[in-house]
Amino acid sequence: MAHGKETPRQKMIGMMYLVLTALLALNVSTSVLDAFKIIDEGLSKTQNTLYFKIQEVYSRFEQQAQINPGKVTDWKDKAYEVRQRADTLHKQLQDLKLLVLREAEKSNYEAIFDENGELLRDEVKSVIDYDTPKRIMIGSELNANSRATKLKKEINEYREFLLSFVPEENTKLRESIESSLETDQPAEKGGAIKSREETSWELHKFGHSPMMGFVAIMSSLQINVRNAESEVINYLYSRIDEGAIKFNELEATVIPNTNYVIRGNKYTAQVFVAARDTTSDPVVYATESSNPYKEIRDERGKVIDYQRRDDLPYKTLPIKGGKAIYELTGTGIGPREWGGIIEILGPSGPIRRPFKQAYQVAESNVVVSPTKMNVFYYGVDNPVDISVAGIPADRISAINTNGVIIPRKGSWIVNPKRPGFSTIRVFAEFDGQKKEVGFKEFRVKTVPDPVAMVADRKGGGIEKNLLMAATGVQAVMENFDFDLSFRVTEFTVLVVIQGFVTPASSNSARFTPKQKELIGALSKGAPLFIQDIKAVGPDGTVRPLNTISFKIN
């Protein structure tokens, strides 16, 4: 409207354009913009968590390379190539994000970051700016010089670079990488490809989003870069020969046949290292003592080695299949302690690790063993088998220092009161009198959180028809031996349709008709977030579960 003298008609058209722009701005509700901010904040936290997990893998590469460079260096070098490419693309995405924010915020740009450089989303004033993201990323028209086109090319090259490390037969990993870094043109409902001008990948991502939607999209792309990096470096790490001894993690292992010995019987224990070199057996020195070794410390007081004590008699244990066998006949009744030094040849000389064990010599043998696992769980029935050699079951009783223990159908059920530790003390009746014959301590843990799933999937790429066929959200106990279940009580579905975030909540485990309608409206490549998931366990506590992030295949 400021191009010199204008006709009344031109002035009227310009005024109508301003009014239309204002109306469009009013149509963007505060809740939608807040949803964009919430999504980007969640993506930022996920990105930080993923980054630190990735750094742990690189640290393990460093540790293994120091131990056995001949076997590790090649895989480590490949992993560091992945790191360099991932960091470069991640920085490129960050630079583009900041460029668009700088162009939109102008003089307010410095105020939208805190002293640590973190984005203060509530301070962004251009939240409904549709023009700047498209102008910077697309330009006046989409062409080879558009930043979005160049970014798509970089993502494609990064994807092919990662796939070069994964063999063709590993289809699952390859499909996961291709899904995370997909840049194909979106399709209409029914699978038909839309026109390039209307819905190319570039325009789909950057042509119709307000500023906070653009920021969230860039954060999502950064997570995809890191996620693909994580999958490939974990695959490369798995290729390292795990048969090599990890000397910096070497631990002595002692497995006794029992911790209670009937007088006159033998106490037997196996002493070995968890990982060993089949060409070199360990040497194990053992003695009876409550302090069976001495520590060698440096000038700063740090333990650097272990040695045998000069005042104790040691015997060298025989080795069978890499394991040392320790045998001693239980004579005097009461507690006994023993231990020693296990020594194995490392790359730079002998490596020594100490071990210590204790056992009880008693008149009779008591066995207390959980039938599920070696821990008790708070809030559920923990079955335990208890027996005492030579004593009928009706003459055995037990108490629990943390909670209750009751007999049930030939076994026992333990219900701990709180997490921590629980000691089961066993009593047997001899000549009409109860005597304590043994005890065993168990760890008490809370039941782990279940994993939120839809159609048995925790996230990633998913077919739309599979989502539509699913009834709702499941709370699944993974790798847990107890037969118990959690009930999902609520969750929220967030979808992004034409640049707008639309939430819909459910107060049960099932998808509501509104949520089904939103899912049905998604096109290929569209994200779907299921968050604020809560589930109730058998102990009555409400657990917040993980967010599920899907991308429609």
Query: Residues 146, 71: one domain?
Result: yes
Query: What pLDDT does residue 78 have?
Result: 93
Q: Which residues on neighbouring strands pair with residue 541, listed in sequence order?
A: none
Estimate to the nearest angstrom the gap between the alpha carbon of 21 and the chain centroid.
Answer: 45
**Residue 2, in any domain of the structure:** no
Query: What pLDDT does residue 18 have?
Result: 47
Query: What pLDDT does residue 31 have?
Result: 57
Query: What pLDDT does residue 1 have?
Result: 46
Of 446, 468, 487, which residue is a domain's last? 446
3-state class percentages of the chain: helix first, strand second, coil last, to nearest 5: 35, 30, 30
Query: Residues 231, 350: one domain?
Result: no
CA atoms within 13 A on the CB side of 514: 10
Q: What is residue 468's three-state secondary structure?
A: helix
State pLDDT tens for residues 480-511.
Answer: 877 788 999 999 999 988 778 899 999 999 99
Query: Residues 196, 85: one domain?
Result: yes
Query: Residues 421, 536: one domain?
Result: no
Of 379, 411, 446, which residue is a domain's last? 446
**Residue 140, in any domain of the structure:** yes
Q: In this structure, what token pair is assigned to residue 423? A: 């000691």
Provide the domain count of the chain. Answer: 4
Query: Residues 150, 43: one domain?
Result: yes
State pLDDT tens for residues 506-541.
Answer: 999 999 999 999 998 888 888 999 999 999 987 788
State pLDDT tens for residues 145-180.
Answer: 999 899 999 999 999 999 999 999 889 999 999 988
Q: What is the 3-state secondary structure (H, E, C) of 364-384?
A: CCEEEEECCCCEEEECCCEEE
Q: What is the largest CA-CA distance in the chain?
A: 117
Q: Decide if 330 contacts 323 (C-beta within 8 A).
A: no
Look up the pTM and report it: 0.41
Query: Residues 348, 389: one domain?
Result: no
Query: Residues 459, 400: one domain?
Result: no
Query: What pLDDT does residue 347 have?
Result: 53
State pLDDT tens for residues 14-51.
Answer: 555 444 444 444 445 555 566 667 777 777 788 888 88
**Residue 1, in any domain of the structure:** no
Q: How far apart are CA 463 and CA 526, in angstroms?
A: 11
Go through the chain and tell me how many residues it has: 553
State pLDDT tens for residues 241-274.
Answer: 544 444 445 566 667 655 555 555 566 777 766 5
Of 446, 476, 503, which residue is a domain's last? 446
Query: Residues 334, 441: one domain?
Result: no
The domain of 402 spans 366-446
Query: What pLDDT does residue 213 have?
Result: 82
